[in-house]
Amino acid sequence: MASNNRVHSHAVRRGGDRKMNIQSITQITGSASFLTDGGSPREMPNSSSSPSISSVSHNPPLSVRMNDIPLADPNDAQSEIEALRLKVTELELELDGVSNKGKLIAQELDLFRQRRVVFWSDRFRNAFDAWNLMNPNFQQLKDDSAMFHGEIQPLRLQPSLSLLRVPFLSYDFKLNRAGLKGILLAPVLDVPLQVGELCVRLFSERDNLIACSSKNVTHMSDEEPVLFDFAPIKNSHEIDMTLRIYVQGVDAPVRIFELRRYALAGFGRLQSRPFAGYVFD
């Protein structure tokens, strides 16, 4: 009886060992089909010669990935370039049309300003003053105008006459500092311009030119002043100067801001002073 128990326990142990061996083999091979189908390890595919599913699905060979990239058709690229060129040409023509229309409107507006009824109404009723409306970039012009041109309280900051309608605008002034080498002005352009110049000339006497400068109107705007620079005038504190401002080659009205008023409550002549900043050596 005891021997039978030993035999039975030995068989159980051998059975347990067999189960353990199968389980260990299963863990080593990592294949569930080995247990269900009863296949031998020799029937399993060689992992070293066959790529895994994950490697095929997630990391294809470089040649496969390169083949998936479509090649650009030179004919299509050339067609796109030609289409873009045509579009640019159309936009340029449209821009030219808008620019010409804007210049025409600006000229008609200038004609309206010169009508007699508007002119006299402007003398008596125009109370517009742009002094407190100017961009902070014009602060130096405000400071220098108040510093060098005396009392400006009764004057208003307004646009001048169109420089296309007069040979030039003239201002007499005197500075108390030597070495003047630049003047800042505030232009008024009704429309952006592509051609022409705004010019300044300084005289110490009627025909004694002491400085001149000009700037292209292409890059001018109402947001910042324009600097007209020239060689320093060493004795600018000793002479009475006359500033003349004019335009050349422009095809639309150009004005500048100036300090102005009509004397005798509108019945007298126009009194004007330059709205300008000064740069010294």
pTM: 0.63
* pLDDT given for residue 19 in this prediction: 43
Strand partners, 199: 214, 246
d(CA 13, CA 15): 5
Write the burial class of residue 198 (CB in 10 Å: 0-12 exposed, 13-18 middle, 19+ buried).
buried
What is the bridge-based pairing of β-strands 187-189 and 197-203? unpaired
List the pLDDT tens digit at each of the 281 positions of the chain.
Answer: 444 444 444 444 444 444 444 444 444 444 444 333 444 444 444 444 444 444 444 555 555 555 555 555 667 888 888 888 888 888 877 777 776 767 667 677 776 666 766 666 666 676 789 999 999 999 999 999 999 988 888 899 999 999 998 999 999 999 999 999 999 999 999 888 889 999 999 999 878 999 999 999 998 988 999 999 999 999 999 999 999 999 999 988 999 999 998 777 667 788 899 999 999 99
Tens digits of per-residue pLDDT, 114-129? Answer: 676 666 666 667 678 9
- The rounded mean pLDDT for the chain is 77
Tens of pLDDT, residues 27-36: 444 444 433 3
Residue that has been written with the tokens 């189908």 in this structure: 37
Distance of CA 101 to the CA centre of its chain: 25
CA 87/CA 90 separation, integer angstroms = 5
Q: What pLDDT digit, counting tens, does each position of 22-73 carry?
A: 444 444 444 444 333 444 444 444 444 444 444 444 555 555 555 555 555 6
